[in-house]
């Protein structure tokens, strides 16, 4: 197991009516609030009203940045920073899914950077501090509610970049599974695939000695396999929504990847698909992941696939290792299909045209992953196989 420093500073308020913790938490950090939210789902479910009523009752002035798009844009971040500066904002509250939270994170950090916040994403400027941020999560998927990562798109130059810094970790997150009852089937499916992908990226690691973390990854995967389908057919099943929500946070907050390298494979490929075609993150992952698995299965990796097949999918350990691996990959694909997710790029209107461009872009900082490192040529083969 590699050395690691444990630090997961976000306080979690989990469960029904945990919104009652909101004001007490905000009071610890700020007095002038920027509300960041998406296209209106929080109004439909009555959450917006709840929050503004609480803020008004407690004489906390607030300003609003609505309309954050899925695959949030750098333009929204710029707008949010300007609002914060004009109104002496000292606390940012994100209400929504990963896109809203990521956007809020970069607003919080960009507030202290005098030039264009995109510099922070591409690494030409350093993160130093950030406004305190809290979140109210409405979609179980990215884990942004408990990690220090922001993923932001710059559509003008077809770039989607993820970057992390401890200052962007939310101070607190309110996780009330009932807020996810309204998540439509398509996003429930995509979110489940995203959580699974986070667990898989850590599970299929070059470091084989972090046994405990691998078993925890399996637990997250089994949770998604059990509860994803239930949430699809019973959107108001509290047990299913609660388990998915907590899985979302645990899959990427560090617990699964501590002691392993954190070089991922499917994610950087998917980010290029979203950068060029603006597709839903979890959908892209569901398409790429089984093809990536097929591509990296060889003598050096088959044992890990065997663990995956036996421990996650309950396959017979007596079978030959390659047979287990192949069946496990098939089961992964079939599971995504059962959630109504597409299995090919053509199903989301992606043709061969930009595959090479995307393969090069995904690997511009070097090969992906350490489980079985893949270069631009490999990524191109995976993309072609996914067509």
- Contacts with Zn ion by CB under 5 A lie at 194
Q: Which of 30, 80, 96, 369 binds ligand NZQ (CB under 6 A)?
A: 96
First to last CA, the chain: 37
Cα atoms in the 13 Å half-sphere on the side-chain side of 143: 25
What does 99 bind: Zn ion, ligand NZQ, none (CB cut-off 5 to 8 Å by kind)? Answer: ligand NZQ
CA distance 360 to 242: 39
CA distance 295 to 287: 13
CA-nearest of 179, 198, 180 to 254 is 198
Cα atoms in the 13 Å half-sphere on the side-chain side of 308: 29
Q: Do 125 and 113 form a contact (C-beta atoms < 8 A)?
A: yes
Q: Does 369 bind ligand NZQ (CB under 6 A)?
A: no
Minimum distance of ligand NZQ from residue 281's CB (angstroms)? 4
Q: Does 363 bind ligand NZQ (CB under 6 A)?
A: no
CA distance 370 to 225: 26
Q: Does 163 bind ligand NZQ (CB under 6 A)?
A: no
Q: Is 141 helix (H, G, I), strand (E, B) or coil?
A: coil
Q: Which is nearer to ligand NZQ, 175 or 315 (CB)?
A: 175
What does 290 bind: ligand NZQ, Zn ion, none (CB cut-off 5 to 8 Å by kind)? Answer: none
Q: Does 254 bind ligand NZQ (CB under 6 A)?
A: no
Stretch that binds ligand NZQ, among 33-41, 224-232, 315-323, 325-333 (CB under 6 A): 33-41
Q: Which is nearer to ligand NZQ, 130 or 141 (CB)?
A: 141
Q: Does 151 bind ligand NZQ (CB under 6 A)?
A: yes
Minimum distance of ligand NZQ from residue 179's CB (angstroms)? 5
What does 38 bind: Zn ion, ligand NZQ, none (CB cut-off 5 to 8 Å by kind)? Answer: ligand NZQ
Q: Which is nearer to ligand NZQ, 201 or 378 (CB)?
A: 201
CA-nearest of 142, 204, 197, 242 to 335 is 197
Q: Does 130 bind ligand NZQ (CB under 6 A)?
A: no
- How many residues touch ligand NZQ under the rule CB under 6 A: the total is 36
| Angle between helices 185-203 and 211-233 in degrees, nearest 10 | 170
CA distances from residue 154 to 143, 307, 360 in whole angstroms, order as listed: 22, 39, 18
CA distances from residue 357 to 7, 125, 276, 353, 374 in whole angstroms, order as listed: 37, 26, 10, 8, 16
Q: Do 210 and 362 form a contact (C-beta atoms < 8 A)?
A: no
**Strand 91-96 and strand 33-37: pairing?**
parallel
User: Residue 8's Cα: distance from chain center in Å?
Assistant: 16
Q: Which of 93, 121, 149, 175 binds ligand NZQ (CB under 6 A)?
A: 149
Q: Which is nearer to Zn ion, 51 or 341 (CB)?
A: 341
User: Residue 329's Cα: distance from chain center in Å?
Assistant: 22
Minimum distance of ligand NZQ from residue 191's CB (angstroms)? 6
Q: Which of 138, 159, 163, 205 binds ligand NZQ (CB under 6 A)?
A: 138
Q: Which is nearer to ligand NZQ, 22 or 324 (CB)?
A: 22
Q: Which of 10, 25, 100, 214 binds ligand NZQ (CB under 6 A)?
A: 100
CA distance 43 to 72: 19
Q: Which is nearer to Zn ion, 102 or 194 (CB)?
A: 194
Please report, as ranges, the residues that interact with ligand NZQ according to CB under 6 A.
Answer: 38-42, 45, 70-71, 96-100, 102, 138-139, 141-144, 147, 149-151, 162, 179-180, 182-183, 187, 191, 194, 252, 267, 281-282
């Amino acid at each position: 197991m590699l050395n690691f420093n444990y630090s997961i500073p976000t306080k979690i308020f989990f469960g029904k009516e945990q919104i009652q913790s909101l004001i007490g938490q905000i009071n610890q950090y700020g007095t002038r609030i920027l509300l960041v939210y998406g296209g209106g789902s929080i109004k439909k479910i009555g959450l917006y009203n709840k929050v503004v009523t609480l803020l008004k009752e407690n004489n906390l002035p607030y300003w609003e940045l609505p309309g954050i798009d899925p695959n949030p844009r750098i333009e929204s971040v710029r707008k949010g920073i300007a609002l914060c500066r004009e109104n002496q904002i000292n606390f940012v509250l994100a209400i929504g899914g990963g896109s809203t939270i990521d956007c809020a994170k970069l607003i919080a950090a960009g507030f202290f950077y005098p030039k264009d916040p995109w510099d922070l994403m591409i690494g030409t400027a350093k993160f130093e501090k950030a406004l305190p941020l809290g979140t109210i999560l409405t979609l179980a998927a990215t884990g942004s509610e408990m990690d220090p990562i922001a993923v932001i798109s710059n559509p003008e130059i077809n770039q989607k970049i993820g970057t992390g810094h401890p200052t962007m970790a939310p101070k607190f997150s309110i996780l009330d599974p009932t807020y996810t009852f309204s998540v439509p089937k398509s996003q429930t499916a995509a979110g489940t695939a995203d959580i699974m992908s986070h667990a898989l990226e850590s599970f299929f690691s070059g470091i084989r000695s972090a046994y405990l973390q691998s078993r925890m990854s399996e637990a997250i995967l089994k949770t998604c396999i059990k509860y994803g389908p239930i949430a699809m057919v019973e959107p108001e099943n509290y047990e299913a929504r609660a388990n998915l929500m907590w899985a979302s946070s645990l899959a990427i907050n560090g617990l699964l990847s501590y002691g392993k390298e954190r070089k991922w494979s499917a994610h950087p490929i998917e980010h290029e698909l979203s950068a060029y075609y603006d597709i839903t993150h979890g959908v892209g992952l569901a398409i790429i992941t089984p093809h990536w698995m097929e591509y990296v299965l060889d003598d050096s990796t088959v044992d890990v696939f065997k663990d995956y097949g036996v421990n996650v999918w309950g396959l017979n350990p007596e079978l030959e290792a390659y047979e287990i691996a192949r069946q496990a990959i098939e089961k992964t694909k079939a599971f995504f299909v059962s959630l109504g997710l597409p299995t090919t790029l053509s199903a989301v209107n992606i043709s061969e045209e930009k595959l090479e461009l995307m393969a090069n872009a995904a690997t511009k900082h070097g090969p992906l992953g350490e489980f079985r490192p893949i270069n631009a040529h490999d990524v191109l083969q995976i993309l072609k196989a996914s067509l």
